[in-house]
Amino acid sequence: MFETLSDRLTTVFSSLRTKGRLSEADINATAREIRVALLEADVALPVVKDFIARIKERARGSEVSQALNPAQQVVKIVNEELIEILGGETRELRLAKNPPTVIMLAGLQGAGKTTLAGKLARWLKQEGQTPMLVAADLQRPNAVQQLQVVGERAGVPVFAPEPGSGVGDPVDVARRSIEQARRAQHSIVVIDTAGRLGIDAEMMQQAIDIRDAVQPDDVLFVVDAMVGQDAVNTAQAFMDGVGFDGVVLTKLDGDARGGAALSVRHITGRPIMFASTGEKLEDFSVFHPDRMAGRILDMGDVLTLIEQAERTFDEAQAEKMSAKFASGEDFTLEDFLEQMMMIRKLGPIGNLLGMMPGMGQVRDQISQIDDRDLDRIAAIIRSMTPQERSQPKIINGSRRARIAKGSGVSVGEVSSLVTRFFDAQKMMRQMAGGIPGMPGMPGGG
């Protein structure tokens, strides 16, 4: 699932990766591409509109982090907004103070309710609960039998009207099942209800009657993610009818687009609680918005790096640096060292090049430096006098020899560092009076 959306978004981000900063036009173009990607993924239009508006607002806004380059900032914003749209926090089942907890399933026929009942029962059992399934779908031929089959597979008892008893009142079955659960000390009751192929008033009324009879702790709306846009209409109809507390998305294994997942919660305001991803009982999971967003963005590593960079990066240092450049002061060896040290704090150098604002520019310089080199460079710079560090031009032959001796390296190494530094300094100057991505600076943010 989500492959198409994932691919599209990855393309959008990779075209940003080379940018030093985002102009208004860049933001608009990016927003347009994200919009197309979402629409193609079958996300409902109002959801897309809200989403894009928020992305634009935040990308333009002053919240831009100093630790990230523009592409990473956009990834971060999109990731956070995806999590938000998918429901933010993971929502747990509401367990009743006085068992049994009653969970009622509602949804169209074929949505996967009966299958889900088995999955839920199996999972609840693993969680230490003692669930019981209830067959209150007396409409569909074989529905009772089907539930008995999944119940057996999950190793969970099923409450159903006796075959041939002619008992055809699902409300009565549901009501009696609660009494039975109390007697047999089941901690949770999962009630499977009837669905139709389309929404109709009679079915909705029956669901409402069952709801009123058993007072469920949670009504779960089960919806087939493969139906795309229709999922939104169905969700709205169930919301207006029986109402529900949480959503279960089924058949996520079959959907390359996944728009339903991104729309239902936003439209109905109800969280997605579980996901069903196959026909087997174990193809089931608790729905975690953050993990799902990570999967959609397909950028687990990048997201981790972003977090790491944000945690490590010292904002005060960045501001100091930023102020320095703004005032037109020169880039000194002191700054050079400081920048490299900041990068080192972030972890293995190879992984993190380009994470620093403006560092993309000196990436070539630094990519040739490994951690051990960095120690030597630090030693060399620390063997310099303050004057040498701030005015490296004065570092002549005899000074180089002294510095080499002081830091235990060859004169050649000192010279190569000084040369490298001058290259870096030149690049910094060429950055036209601003470090890209640094807010509050000419050309920044």
Rounding to the nearest 10 degrees, give the CA dihedral for residues 104, 107, 110, 111: -90
251 marked as binding residue: yes
Q: Is 109 in the site for ligand GDP (CB under 6 A)?
A: yes
Only one of the segments 74-82, 112-120, 309-317, 420-428 lies at the binding site for ligand GDP (rule: CB under 6 A); that segment is: 112-120
Q: From the centroid of its chain, how far is CA 21? A: 24
Does residue number 114 form part of the binding site for ligand GDP (CB under 6 A)? yes
11-50 footprint of ligand GDP as x/- string (CB under 6 A): ----------------------------------------
**Amino acid letter, residue 249:** L
The phi, psi pair for 374, rounded to 5°, reads -60, -40
Strand partners, 189: 102, 132
Helices marked H in 215-255: 229-240
Residue type, 259: G
152 makes contact with ligand GDP (CB under 6 A): no
**Residues forming a β-bridge with 346:** none
Q: Is 405 annotated as a binding-site member? A: no
Q: Which is nearer to ligand GDP, 1 or 356 (CB)?
A: 1
Task: Find the part of the chain contacting ligand GDP (CB under 6 A) among 81-89, 151-159, 248-256, 261-269.
Answer: 248-256
Answer yes or no: is 252 a known binding residue.
yes
Q: Does 113 bind ligand GDP (CB under 6 A)?
A: yes
Cis peptide, bond prior to residue 100, ω within 30 of zero: yes
Among 87, 170, 195, 354, binds ligand GDP (CB under 6 A): 195
Cβ distance 74 to 16 under 8 Å? yes
CB of 26 to ligand GDP, least distance (A): 40
Q: Which is nearer to ligand GDP, 169 or 253 (CB)?
A: 253
Instruction: Name the pairing type of β-strands 272-276 and 284-286.
Output: antiparallel
Q: Which of residues 140 and 345 has its CB atom nearest to ligand GDP in the complex?
A: 140
Contact between 284 and 274 (Cβ < 8 Å):
yes
Are residues 29 and 4 in contact, defined by beta-carbon separation less than 8 angstroms? no
Which of 61, 88, 254, 433 lies at the binding interface for ligand GDP (CB under 6 A)?
254
* Chain-centre distance for alpha carbon 204: 34
Is 20 labelled as part of a ligand binding site? Answer: no
What residues numbered 263-322 form the site for ligand GDP, per CB under 6 A?
Answer: 276-279, 283
Of 253 and 330, the one with the shorter C-beta distance to ligand GDP is 253
CA distance 382 to 363: 22
Q: Which residues are annotated as a binding site for GTP?
A: 107-114, 192-196, 250-253
Q: Which residues are annotated as a binding site?
A: 107-114, 192-196, 250-253
Residues at the contact surface with ligand GDP, assessed by CB under 6 A: 107, 109-115, 195, 250-251, 253-254, 276-279, 283
